[in-house]
Structure 1
Amino acid sequence: MNPDDFADRVGAEKSTELDRLGSQQLLVALTGADLEPEVVLTASANSEHSAAETFAEWADGSDDARETFERLADQEREHYERVVAELDEFEPLDSIDSMQAYLRGLDDDISRAGGLVGRSLVGNRTLLQVVNFFVNEADKRRANLFRDLRADTRENVEDGRAVLAECCADDDDWNRAFDVATETVQIAYDDYADALTGMGLDPKPIC
C-alpha cells in the first residue's frame, strides 16, 4: 500500500457504505426527517464545530503532524463560522456523534491520518447532499457556500495521505491506517443506518 492508492483502496473497501451515505436519505437521518433549511444548517454547524474541536485536540497531541492538524482546525472553525452566519441563533451541542468520538480516541499520527482520510470521504458525501438540498431550495448562495466547504473537505483526503507518506515506515503502519480509515466510514454508516431504522426506514436503497 502507498499514498497514491490509499484513499482509492479505502473507497473501494467501503464503496457500499459510502454510496449509501451519499444518498438522498442522508439528510433524513441527520435531521430526523425535518428537512427545513434551518435544521439542515444546524446539523451542518454542529458537524463543523465537532470537527474543529477534534482537529484541535489532535494538534495538541501531535509532533510530526501538528502543523497539518492546526491548519485543519482553523479550516473547520472558518467553516463553522460561515455556516453559523446563516442562522439567527446557534448553540453547539454538548454531545458529539459516534464518528467524532472514535476519532478523538485515536492517539497517534498514523491512526489520525487514517481517520482523516475516512472522515473526509464521508464528509464529501455528506456535503454533496447539503449542496443538493439548497439547489432544490433554489438557494444558490447557500449551495455555493457548501460547494466551497466540500472542495476543502475533498482536499483533506490529500492532507491525510501526505501525513501517512511522512509517517508510515512499513506495511504494518499502512495497514493500521487503512483499518482506522475503513472503521471511520463504518461508524458513520452505522449511525446513518441506525437513525433511519429508528424511523422505520430502510437504509439500503441507494437514491
Structure 2
Amino acid sequence: MDGAAFRERVTEAKRTELARLGSGPLLLALTHGEPTARRVLEAAADSEHAAHTTFSRWADDEDDQRARRAFAAVADREREHRERVLAALPAADEAYEPNDGGLLHEYLRGRVGAIRRAAAGMVGRGLVVDRTHSQVISFFVDEGAAARVELFRDLREETEAGTERGLDLLETLCANEDDWADARAVAEYTVQIAYDDYADGLRGLEMDPASVC
C-alpha cells in the first residue's frame, strides 16, 4: 500500500461520518448552538491550541527521529495557526484564553508509536480538520468577512499539506501490511471519535445528526 491508497481507503470507510462532519450543523455543535463569529473563532482557536499541545508532547517523547521532526513541525504550525486565529477575534475587554483537551485529543494523546501517531494525528485528524475548515470558510463567506475567509483558506491549505506529509511519513514507517492495517484502524477511529463528539453535540441541542446533514 502507499499513502494515496491509504487515504482513499480511510475516506471510503468513513465516508458517511466525514460527509456529516462537513455539513452545516457542524458549527452548531462546535459552538453549542451559538454560531456567532466570535464563538466560531474561539472554537477554532481551541482546536489549534489542543493540537499544538498534542503534537508538542509527541515531539518531546517520540523515539523515531523522522516522526519526531514531523510532529515538531506540526506543533509549530498549530501554534502559528492558533495565534493567527486569535488575532482575527473581534476586540474584547479581555484576551481569549484557548481551552485545551476534548475527546479527540484525549484519544490522540493515548496513542503510542510513530505509526499510530502519524496515522491518527496527521491523517485522521487532518481529514476531520479539512471538513471543519470548509464549514468555517462557508460561514465567513456568508458573513461577508473576506479577511477571515482568506485566513481559513490558508489554514486549510497548510493543514492539507500536513496531511500529505503524514501520508509520506507512513510510507517510510510502514514495513508491511500489518503496519498499514494498524495505521488504518487508528485513522478511522480518529474520524469516528470526532463524529461521535459532533453527534453528541447535536443531540444536546435536540437535533438528530442523521437527519440534518
Q: TM (normalized to structure 2)?
A: 0.94
The answer on whether the counterparts of 1:20 and 1:205 sit within 8 Å (CA) in structure 2 is no
Find the aligned partners of 1:61 and 1:206 in 2 and give their Cα distance. Answer: 41
Question: Is 1:163–2:169 an aligned residue pair?
Answer: yes
Find the aligned partners of 1:53 and 1:96 in 2 and give their Cα distance. Answer: 9
Question: Is 1:58–2:58 an aligned residue pair?
Answer: yes
Bigger drift between 191-200 and 156-165 goes to 156-165
- The amino acid across from 1:75 in the alignment is R
Counterparts of 1:48-197 in structure 2, within 5 Å, are: 48-62=48-62, 63-64=64-65, 65-87=67-89, 88=91, 89-93=95-99, 95-115=100-120, 116-197=122-203
CA-CA distance at 1:157 after TM superposition:
1.7
Find the aligned partners of 2:5 and 2:76 in 1 and give their Cα distance. Answer: 28
Q: Look up the match of 2:9.
A: 9
Find the aligned partners of 1:104 and 1:160 in 2 and give their Cα distance. Answer: 17
Find the aligned partners of 1:155 and 1:101 in 2 and give their Cα distance. Answer: 24
CA-CA distance at 1:2 after TM superposition:
2.3
Find the aligned partners of 1:2 and 1:86 in 2 and give their Cα distance. Answer: 38
Find the aligned partners of 1:158 and 1:61 in 2 and give their Cα distance. Answer: 23
The answer on whether the counterparts of 1:111 and 1:176 sit within 8 Å (CA) in structure 2 is yes
Find the aligned partners of 1:92 and 1:85 in 2 and give their Cα distance. Answer: 12
Q: Percent identity?
A: 50
Report the aligned-residue RMSD: 1.0
Q: What's the secondary structure of 1:82's corresponding residue? A: helix
Find the aligned partners of 2:190 and 2:177 in 1 and give their Cα distance. Answer: 20
Q: TM (normalized to structure 1)?
A: 0.96
The answer on whether the counterparts of 1:7 and 1:157 sit within 8 Å (CA) in structure 2 is no
CA-CA distance at 1:206 after TM superposition:
5.5
CA-CA distance at 1:38 after TM superposition:
0.5
